[in-house]
């Protein structure tokens, strides 16, 4: 059995990633928060019915993270650092800074350190706005940049045994709560490939880097339909 730990694996991109890895025959640890417990159980049962194994791990990544022994005893070969929070903030927002850094950086440091002995490949999901800040989300962007820097450093520190890469997605399906149709249309028209990405695009990129790209480490793969290649700042 070959296990992968996927954080934030019960919704949107995280669920697509878990499904893509499971579809490749990988057993998946579905990390989730307390509020996503029911969804995690449903996903676990569905995946188990379709081949490889799946288990759930509940943890609040905003709090100091201790990886439970049963997870480390699975000897995970893969980890996807996907869990995220996305809230607006300004530079002086110390509470937001603490939470964003806890979820995006400190939790992943704890998880990867605990799993280091058996890992073969790690992928972190960051954001194209790490390189092109959009404004209004200071600590989200800074903490995602810190996660990206962590993976690029580990690509050197943990070589040659563990490959470490980053997927930086651009525009993916808009949250259901966002109803600014004019803004959505403007964004869609600014993407050279002519469409907003879907979660399958993200999951496919993660699967490639995690499982297949055996001579690739320390890289950032931008998945944004070409938008950041030409869009003005």
The per-residue pLDDT for 196 is 87
- Taking the model in full, what pTM does it have? 0.94
Query: 168-205 pLDDT, tens per residue?
Result: 998 887 666 666 666 666 777 788 888 888 999 999 99
- Catalytic pick among 78, 86, 140, 208: 140
Mean pLDDT of 26-48: 98
Query: 75-117 pLDDT, tens per residue?
Result: 999 999 999 999 999 999 999 999 999 999 999 999 999 999 9
Structural domains of the chain, count: 1
Tokens of 43: 């996903």
Segments in the chain forming alpha helices (H): 12-23, 37-48, 69-72, 94-101, 107-115, 138-157, 181-189, 199-207, 227-230
CA distance 225 to 233: 16
Reference 17, options 35, 30, 33; nearest CA is 30
In order of 70, 134, 158, the CA distances from 130 in angstroms are 34, 9, 23
Helix (H, G, I), strand (E, B) or coil at 188: helix
Kindly report the CATH number assigned to the domain that includes residue 141: 3.40.50.720
The per-residue pLDDT for 204 is 98
Q: CB–CB of 221/205 below 8 Å?
A: yes
Tokens of 27: 């057993």
Beta bridge partners of 166: 124, 220
Domain enclosing residue 45, as ranges: 3-230
Residues constituting the chain:
233
- According to the per-residue pLDDT averaged within each range, which of 129-133, 157-161, 227-231 is highest? 157-161
CA distance 97 to 101: 6
**Residue 215 annotated to the active site:** no
Helix (H, G, I), strand (E, B) or coil at 46: helix
Q: CB–CB of 10/37 below 8 Å?
A: no
CA distance 46 to 87: 31
Tokens of 69: 């022994």
């Amino acid at each position: 059995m070959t296990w992968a730990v996927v954080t934030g694996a019960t919704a949107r991109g995280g669920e697509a990633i878990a499904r893509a890895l499971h579809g490749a025959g990988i057993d998946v640890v579905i990390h989730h928060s307390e509020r996503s417990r029911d969804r995690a159980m449903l996903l676990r049962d569905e995946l188990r019915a379709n081949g490889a194994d799946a288990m759930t791990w509940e943890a609040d990544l905003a709090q100091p993270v201790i990886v439970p022994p049963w997870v480390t005893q699975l000897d995970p070969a893969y980890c996807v650092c996907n869990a995220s929070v996305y809230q607006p903030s300004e530079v002086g927002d110390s509470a937001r800074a603490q939470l964003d850094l806890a979820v995006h950086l400190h939790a992943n440091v704890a998880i990867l350190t605990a799993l280091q002995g058996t890992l073969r490949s790690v992928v972190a999901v960051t954001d194209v706005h790490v390189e092109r800040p959009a404004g209004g989300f200071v600590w989200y962007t800074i903490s995602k940049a810190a996660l990206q820097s962590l993976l690029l450093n580990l690509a050197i520190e943990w070589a040659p045994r563990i490959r470490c890469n980053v997927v930086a997605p651009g525009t993916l399906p808009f949250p259901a709560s966002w109803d600014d149709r004019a803004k959505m249309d403007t964004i869609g028209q600014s993407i050279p490939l002519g469409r907003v990405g879907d979660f399958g695009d993200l999951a496919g990129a993660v699967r490639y880097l995690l499982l297949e790209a055996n001579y690739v480490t320390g890289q950032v793969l931008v998945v944004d339909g070409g938008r950041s290649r030409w869009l003005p700042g």
